C-alpha cells in the first residue's frame, strides 16, 4: 500500500477552504469539463482542439470535423455529468454503473455496442498485452467488482483509482470506448474521495501507454501509479490558483 503524503497535504489544505465560493466552483467546473473532454478524446484520436471542444460543447458545429468527433465531445460531457450524479447519490461502483457510463460514451456512435460487453475478441494496436477472450469478460468484470468491494477499500484513493483504471483496461470489456470509460472510472474514485479530477494530458500519451503495458504484461504497477499520482498533484493547481494559495507552503 502506497503512502502519498504530499497529495494528502494538498487535499488537507484545500479542505480547509471548503465549501468553496459557488462562483469559483462554477468556473473551475466549466474549465475542467472542457479540458477533461478534450484530452481524453484526443488520446483516442479525436482531432478537435481544446478551443473547438469548448465550442462544440456549446452546440456549435465545427467545419471540417466529423459528426463522430462532435458526438464524442458531447457524450463525454454528459458522462461527466452522470459521474456527478453518482457522487451526489453516493452510488457504489457496479457493473450497471460502468455499463451506463459506457452507454453515454458511445451514444449515437455505436448504439449496438453501447453499454454491452463485447462478444468478439479484439486487439489493442501497438500493445503487447493480449486481451482476455470475450467468453471470460463477464466473469472478469464480476471479479473486478468483488475486488473493488473488498481489497480496494483498504488502498489510498490514488492507488485505488489507478488500479481501477488499469485493471478495467486490462479486462477491456467493451469493443470500443474502454480508454475513455477507464479515465472516467478513475476520476469517479477521485471525486468520491473529495479530490479534484485528474486529467491525463494527451502530450503524455506514449508514456501512458507504456506504463499501462508494463503493468499488464509484466505486472509492474509502479510507473502507472506514479503517473496517476503526478496528474493528481497537478489537478490541485487550478483550485490553489483560484484561491490564491501558494504551492510552496504545502511541501
Annotated catalytic residue within 172, 216, 218, 241: 172
Whether cis (ω within 30° of 0) applies to the bond prior to 130 is no
Residue 17 annotated as catalytic: no
Under a CB-based contact definition with an 8 Å cutoff, are residues 41 and 53 in contact?
yes
Residue 195 contacts residue 11 (beta carbons within 8 Å): yes
What are 130's three cell numbers?
493480449
The grid cell for 142 is 464480476
| Rounded Cα gap, residues 41 and 208, in angstroms | 14
The CA-to-CA distance between both ends of the chain, in Å, stands at 22
Percent helix, strand, coil in the chain (nearest 5)?
65, 0, 35
**Backbone phi, psi, residue 62, to 5°:** -95, 125
Q: What residues are labeled active site?
A: 172
Amino acid at each position: 500500500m502506497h503512502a502519498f503524503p504530499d497529495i494528502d497535504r494538498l487535499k488537507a489544505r484545500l479542505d480547509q477552504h471548503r465549501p468553496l465560493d459557488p462562483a469559483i466552483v462554477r468556473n473551475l467546473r466549466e474549465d475542467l469539463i472542457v479540458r477533461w473532454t478534450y484530452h481524453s478524446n484526443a488520446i483516442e484520436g479525436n482531432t478537435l482542439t481544446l478551443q473547438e471542444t469548448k465550442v462544440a460543447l456549446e452546440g456549435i458545429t465545427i467545419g471540417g470535423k466529423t459528426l463522430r468527433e462532435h458526438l464524442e465531445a458531447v457524450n463525454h460531457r454528459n458522462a461527466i455529468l452522470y459521474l456527478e450524479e453518482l457522487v451526489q447519490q453516493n452510488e457504489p461502483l457496479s457493473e450497471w454503473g460502468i455499463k451506463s457510463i459506457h452507454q453515454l460514451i458511445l451514444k449515437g456512435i455505436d448504439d449496438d455496442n453501447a453499454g454491452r460487453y463485447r462478444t468478439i475478441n479484439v486487439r489493442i494496436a501497438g500493445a503487447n498485452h493480449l486481451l482476455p477472450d470475450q467468453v471470460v469478460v463477464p466473469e472478469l468484470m464480476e471479479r473486478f467488482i468483488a475486488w473493488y468491494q473488498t481489497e480496494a477499500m483498504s488502498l489510498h484513493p490514488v492507488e485505488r483509482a489507478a488500479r481501477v483504471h488499469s485493471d478495467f483496461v486490462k479486462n477491456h470489456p467493451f469493443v470500443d470506448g474502454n480508454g475513455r470509460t477507464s479515465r472516467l472510472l478513475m476520476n469517479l474514485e477521485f471525486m468520491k474521495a473529495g479530490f479534484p479530477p485528474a486529467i491525463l494530458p494527451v502530450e503524455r500519451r506514449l508514456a501512458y501507454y507504456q506504463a499501462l503495458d508494463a503493468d499488464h504484461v509484466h505486472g509492474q504497477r509502479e510507473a502507472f501509479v506514479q503517473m496517476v499520482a503526478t496528474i493528481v498533484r497537478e489537478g490541485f493547481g487550478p483550485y490553489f490558483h483560484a484561491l490564491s494559495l501558494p504551492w510552496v507552503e504545502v511541501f
